[in-house]
Structure 1
């Protein structure tokens, strides 16, 4: 383990420049630039920012499943995210394998358990009701307590088949019995979005809320549907979940005009959309929200403080002397980026976020993915 590390002249997201010292994996000091004379590895971070480690609340990190799979570190620390949450790749049948895969990764991995016991072994995993095995799901969640942080249900026509709302009703009941939240994927009808959203509870998450499909959360004039307004009022969380087919600039612009803001920004990243786009990595997705006019602090909070609070792990969303050094170092460059959404529409940003490195277990590692 690296026993001493100094990030010199790094800028916190509140604008302060500091020398940040890490000793034995713990943040040991935040001193004015140039005043830290500690020995050990020194990283020149002048012009760079540091935040707590980025948290990606929606990834697919089970490489055995196609098309939705990838290796943990390729979508984690190599993209600047020190914590990733696998969003339902595995159900009860294979969640133990996903948990075991943590031993060969440097990225912290947590998981949402698919309410279908087969998980994404098939992409119509809720089309047969016998795959929604309540006792198997609850037993798996208990066996993997601490690793499983909630449940996942993909509620769109291609997934549920002719079962309509019944998979969601069962998912809500299973999550309630386990005392855990539910993340619900929304997409094409049936079922209609007006039927889906009212079933969600305080603390549950709607992912893909900025998709551009016909069955989305905004009317033809760009106004939020009443069911969306009601969900926000009762504490349902809104997650981006960009993915291959679930982020629209047009919808995102409508949401911003209407004052409907994200709680968390996530990628829904896996091998295909990492290598071929339109996701590429967390920094690219964050840059899209800069291009929409959101302040840097709001964008970074959506991958640090807010997901950490939802996970009930606030220490993952802050930098504090005496606590574990869980850090992402990034640049904010005054250079344009051509950005593409899931529908092929493009925007050009004036500034570009680039993940430069992470600190995990006291060690600094340069990021591999370039925006």
Structure 2
């Protein structure tokens, strides 16, 4: 592979192909029922509307004032509770579901929703343990579920995925600094963060490297308990690297990728850069130390020089529009009535599956 080939990426995906189509004329064709009314839900609904969904109605707990206010904001029906939303699905009033309540109740709602042949986008992690989710893998509708690990959909991640696919023998280093602003998190809170937020980056690594397997782990416990974990992980293709998880240490999330003659970084996860050399600075009177500065490579995305965030990542919470475009694709697939089309469509999507959700929870559980 030439240097020029390594520098050039074509990142056209669902966002690029369909962004121009998400206009007013699509609304009403795709009807969304919503369960949950927490702070993340409006970000979902803004993206859903842009992707062509009509917000039919919202339900959560009976008598919820937040649900009523959210429904008014989006001119949607207020359902009595989440069971009423599912009944609307059984009655043919909606085409897809967004399930985004508190994680503690998500699994039970999802289990009941999967008794219908409706595409579902469920907010990650869907449960706090792999044990809770594993029985759902046996349901016949399992491939209709998209799990909301939205970082898979970042335009920066698409660039990193292309880099990995175009190079061999990648060595990576990932930093996951949790609760970096506080040294006073409790042991219980750290465990909750590990299983609800750390899984975000662990899933991203699984997506980039196609199912990482831990080989060796070590860590430090402080007076509270879990403080840090370092794990060496290997991919089926032979890529390998380290994952460092810390609590209360000021830092930012990042992933570095290294191969012969080239490296790349997601620092932070939203920003992608590549490097193709090192500039050496000899000691001077002002700086009496030899030092080294990686030289940034020119990257071409869709024929244009330089990496920029996609318009979808700027207009909406990054990755959310892509998730709903993929949910819309699943609605279209179900409407064909062809099981092969449904399976082929699901296999083409970036969104995490329930199998992915179980896999990443098991990975996190093994690092406790």
Q: Normalising by the residue count of structure 1, what TM-score does the alignment of the two structures yield?
A: 0.32
The structure that is helix-richer by fraction is: 2
